[in-house]
Amino acid sequence: MQKRGQISEVFIWIAAAIIMGLILYFGVKTAFRLQNTGNQVALNKEIEDFKSEVEKYYYLDKGSSKKITLNFPSEITNICFSNGNAATKNKDIEQGIDFIVKEEAKKPDGNNMFLIPLDSYSNTGFYIPYLKHEGANLLCFENNKNLFIISKGDHVDIKETI
């Protein structure tokens, strides 16, 4: 009789270990998914804050400017702004961005802001209304770097320095 009890106890411990392993696996998976969702929320909040600043300066007097810092999550290394010409001299930027920017520029409301690396999030291209970079090239900044937005009357420009 004692052997039957001992054998069933082993199966109980094995079942408990399997259940604990499954709980741990799904718990860790959910925690990582929650962290990714948090980073996506932080990214979207920063984009919306930037859009509202650009819109605010669009309606201010010509020449109004403000120094801003775009603080995206650490996965983002560079922020690029396009005026439709995708020629870039920055060799550190991924090669594929030139093609992507040219394709986006063909659209009526194509994206004019890109986050590098392009595969860091599911969506790394954004359209910022009223923002038009006046330079001839793709303008790229490092993440968390100061830049200036300047009202030009009919649009808002972005520059590294005034």
DSSP characters over 10-70: HHHHHHHHHHHHHHHHHHHHHHHHHHHHHHHHHHHHHHHHHHHHHHHHHTSPTT-EEEEE-
Res 49: pLDDT: 94
What's the CA gap between 160 and 50, in Å, rounded? 16
Which of 75, 80, 84, 110 has the alpha carbon at shortest distance from 93?
80
Res 84: pLDDT: 61
Contact at 8 Å (CB) between 85 and 136?
A: yes
Residues in the chain: 162
Could you tell me the pTM of the whole model? 0.71
Domain around 145: 2-159
Res 3: pLDDT: 61
Averages of pLDDT over runs of 10 residues in the chain (162 residues) are 67 93 95 88 91 93 91 87 58 53 59 82 86 78 89 90 68
The gap from C-alpha 39 to its chain's centroid, in whole angstroms, comes to 8
- How many domains would you assign to the chain? 1
